Amino acid sequence: MGFFKFLFSKTFLMQLVLAVLALVILTFVLLYWLRASTNHDERIAVPDLSKMSLGLVQQELDNADLNYVVIDSSNYNPDYPTFSVIEQNPAAGKFVKEGRKIYLVLNPSGFREIEIPQLVGRTQRQVEPTLLALGFKIGKIDYRDHISPDEVLELRHDGKTIQAGEALRKTSVIDLVVGNGKGSYRTSGDAAEDSINEADDLENAGF
C-alpha cells in the first residue's frame, strides 16, 4: 500500500512532471542539433539574376534561402532593362551557404549627363576625338566662311548652340560648325581706308 500511496503523492507527481519537461527540452535540443549539423555543409547554387527586376530577384532568392544587397548602379547599358540586374557577386552557378548575401549592380534609368568642355576655337581634329572619348556622337559638319580652316566655331545639339559647361546625356549627337578658310582678316587700317573711300563716293554723288 505504501508504494501505491507514493505513486499518487505530490512528491512523485512533481518529479514526474519535471522528468517529462526535461525529456521535452532534451528532445528539442537534440532535434535542433541534428538540423544544424545536417545543414552545416549544405551549399546552394546561386541563380542567374541577370536582367531581372528587384521584384523577381526577391522571389528567386527567397526560394533559394538567399538574400541580396544593391551596392551600386552601373553606367547605363541599353541592352538591359531599366533597373534590372547588370552584375552579381557571387556569380551565377557558384555554391554558397544558406542565407548568403548576393551583391547586385543595377542598370540606371538612362545615360548619365556629361559636361561639355571648352572646345570652341580648337581644331576639328582636336574636338572630334575629345567628344568621342567623352561618349558623344559626331553629327553633321557645317562649314562657315572663316579665316581659320578646320577651326570649330560652334557646337550644336538638336539645332541649339551648346555652351561650355552645359551637360548632355552620354551618346548625344553633337553637330559642329567649322571654318572653311575663305574669310579674311580686317585690320583697323583696312576699316579706316573703307571709311575714306565711302566718304569719297558720297562726295562724288553730290551729298
Sequence letter at residue 80: Y
For CATH 3.30.10.20, list the domain ranges present in the chain. 44-106, 113-179
- The three cell numbers locating residue 70: 544593391
Please give the CATH number for the structural domain made up of 44-106: 3.30.10.20
Q: Cα–Cα distance between 151 and 94 in angstroms, integer?
A: 56
For the stretch 6-54, pLDDT in tens is 556 677 677 777 888 888 888 888 887 776 665 555 789 999 999 999 9
- Mean pLDDT value across residues 120-147: 94
For the stretch 52-81, pLDDT in tens is 999 999 999 999 999 999 987 767 888 899
pLDDT of residue 189: 44
pTM for the model: 0.49
Cα 100-79-111 angle, rounded to 5 deg: 95
Please give the CATH number for the structural domain made up of 113-179: 3.30.10.20
Q: Cα–Cα distance between 47 and 91 in angstroms, integer?
A: 8
For the stretch 134-175, pLDDT in tens is 999 999 999 999 999 999 999 999 999 999 999 998 889 999
Neighbours of 81 (CB within 10 A): 13
- The three cell numbers locating residue 23: 525529456
Sort strands 173-179 and 137-144 into parallel, antiparallel or unpaired. parallel
pLDDT of residue 192: 46
Q: Cα–Cα distance between 155 and 140 in angstroms, integer?
A: 10
Is pLDDT of 201 > 60? no
